[in-house]
Amino acid sequence: MTPLRPLFLLDPDVVFLNHGSYGATPRPVFDACQEWRLRLEREPVQFINHELPGLLRRAREAAGEYLNADPDDLVYIPNATFGMNVIARALPLAPGDEVLTTDHEYGAIDNAWLHVCRKRGARYVRRPVPVPAGSDAEIADGIWRGVTPRTRVLMLSHITSSTALRLPVEDLCARARTAGILTAIDGAHAPGQIPLDLRALDADFYTGNCHKWLCSPKGAAFLYTRRELQPMIEPPVIGWGYGEHRKLAQNPDYVDALQWLGTNDPAAYLTVPAAIAFQREHDWPRVRAECHALLGESLHRVSALTGLPPLYHADHQYAQMAINALPRIGDLAAFNRRLFERYRIEIPCLEWNGRQFLRIALQGYNTRADIDALLAALAAELPGGLTKRGQI
The residues that touch ligand PLP, with contacts defined as CB under 6 A, are: 79-81, 106, 108-109, 157, 161, 186, 188-189, 209
Cα dihedral 193, 197, 201, 202, rounded to 10, equals 140
Helix axes 284-306, 267-281, angle to 10 degrees: 90
Q: Which is nearer to ligand PLP, 109 or 339 (CB)?
A: 109
Shortest spacing between CB 219 and ligand PLP, in angstroms = 9
Q: Which is nearer to ligand PLP, 25 or 250 (CB)?
A: 25
How many Cβ atoms sit within 10 Å of the Cβ of residue 270?
26
User: Exposed, middle or buried: residue 35 (CB in 10 Å: 0-12, 13-18, 19+)?
Assistant: middle
List, in sequence order, the alpha helices (H) in 208-331.
257-259, 267-281, 284-306
Shortest spacing between CB 208 and ligand PLP, in angstroms = 10
Shortest spacing between CB 134 and ligand PLP, in angstroms = 20
Q: Which is nearer to ligand PLP, 129 or 305 (CB)?
A: 129
Shortest spacing between CB 61 and ligand PLP, in angstroms = 23
Q: Which is nearer to ligand PLP, 167 or 339 (CB)?
A: 167
Secondary structure letter of residue 229 according to DSSP: G
Q: Which is nearer to ligand PLP, 109 or 139 (CB)?
A: 109
How many Cβ atoms sit within 10 Å of the Cβ of residue 199?
10
Shortest spacing between CB 167 and ligand PLP, in angstroms = 10
Q: For residue 275, which of 189, 225, 212, 224 has the smallest C-alpha distance?
A: 212
How many Cβ atoms sit within 10 Å of the Cβ of residue 366?
24
